[in-house]
Amino acid sequence: MTPPRTFRIAAIPADGVGREVVAAGRAVLDALAGDSGGAFAFDWEEFPWGCEYYARTGTMMADDGLERLKDFDAIYFGAVGWPTVPDHISLWGLRLRICQSFDQWANVRPVHFLPGVVSPLRKADTTELDWVVVRENSEGEYAGLGGRNLSGRGPGGEVAVQSSLFTEVGCERVIRFAFDLARTRDRRKVSSVTKSNAQQYGMVLWDEVFRRVAADHPDVETESVLVDAMSAKFVLRPEELSVVVASNLNADILSDLGSALAGSLGLAASANLNPERRFPSMFEPVHGSAPDIAGRGLANPIGAVGSGALMLEHLGLPDQAARLHRAIEATTAAGILTGDLGGTASTDDVTKALIDALARSTPS
């Protein structure tokens, strides 16, 4: 018998519900591997980084953390942030440090409508809705450029400058990524989102690069939409969407809107990809650490499990990813839903239901 392909995965549950959903996701992924007839296995190593680690050590991750992560096949992340640590310190000290150091420049965030989940959109009852947000994940508004100064002027005198960075290379690679993705979908369309009427430098450069890349893809339908109009379109005409590509901040906001329309932030999965595979990519639910429900077994694990499916695709196991999606659909269709979706199931109930659904399904 061929020995299983063993994938080395670094798990970073971090804070709050991140710990609950990573534990759930690992259990489901291990069940899938255990049922793969020996085709593949996971070798997990868990890292204790996050806000508690910060309280003990004064840093969000070990000094040699990036060195320790760089040879893993992938990173499976929970969520970072806790009220005891300012959010900009926790985010920059862990998640953004990993994304930027490992050049995970494409953040893929599917908006997937599930059976048995009531969407706030009436249209979702009668229309097939399915789109994916591609977020530029390395520069834009989250480039971390700027500073604060002049506090010496006394109370009320301080100034802060926060600059966005748009490089032609950065725009072009993520826009090309969006076109390549569109070519794999039933509807070959890319919607580019900016606010270039008001932001006349970086976002005008983005628009120009978009037009240039679009000209190389005549088989793909395109549109350029301002972000305010696109937020309205998410609600009013979502059936026109397939791939939506936008800068770091705009796509961050739009993807939360998309997951809320699909039913809950707890459903949304994401992949932070280094498409050249020079570094490991990172898979995480879109949601944060949810301090309001953390530690009570209430968290919806589907966003984390769906992120596991994106990880399987990245690892070259699309059939296994599809199997996981079918288990998610069977679970929500059966009405096994956590509180954010109006149900009464716990994180463990949903996790068990997902594992049971996998056991009932045939490996494809």
Question: At closest approach, how far in Å is the CB of 78 from ligand NAD?
Answer: 7
Give the residue carrying structure tokens 């291990």.
30
Instruction: Give the N- to C-terminal CA distance of the chain in Å, as an integer.
Output: 19
Asked whether the beta carbons of 82 and 51 are under 8 A apart, the reply is yes
188/242 Cα distance (integer angstroms): 7
Binding footprint of ligand NAD on the chain (CB under 6 A): 17, 21, 79-81, 87, 91, 95, 265-266, 284, 287-293, 299-300, 303, 338, 340
CB nearer ligand NAD, residue 316 or residue 342: 342
Asked whether the beta carbons of 193 and 257 are under 8 A apart, the reply is no
68/12 Cα distance (integer angstroms): 12
Query: 200: part of which helix (H) or strand (E)?
Result: none
Question: At closest approach, how far in Å is the CB of 250 from ligand NAD?
Answer: 16
CB nearer ligand NAD, residue 73 or residue 252: 252
Question: At closest approach, how far in Å is the CB of 143 from ligand NAD?
Answer: 18
Which residue type sits at 150? Answer: L
Question: At closest approach, how far in Å is the CB of 99 from ligand NAD?
Answer: 10
Question: At closest approach, how far in Å is the CB of 291 from ligand NAD?
Answer: 6
Q: Name the residue with the smallest CB distance to ligand NAD.
A: 81
* Residue 363 φ then ψ, to 5°: -60, 135
Cα 281 to chain centroid distance, Å, stands at 11
Question: At closest approach, how far in Å is the CB of 131 from ligand NAD?
Answer: 20
CB nearer ligand NAD, residue 202 or residue 308: 308
CB nearer ligand NAD, residue 124 or residue 268: 268
Under 8 Å CB-to-CB from 185, ≥6 apart: which residues?
A: 132, 242, 243
Asked whether the beta carbons of 104 and 275 are under 8 A apart, the reply is no
252/193 Cα distance (integer angstroms): 12
CB nearer ligand NAD, residue 91 or residue 114: 91
CB nearer ligand NAD, residue 186 or residue 292: 292
CB nearer ligand NAD, residue 60 or residue 143: 60
* Residue 164 φ then ψ, to 5°: -95, 145
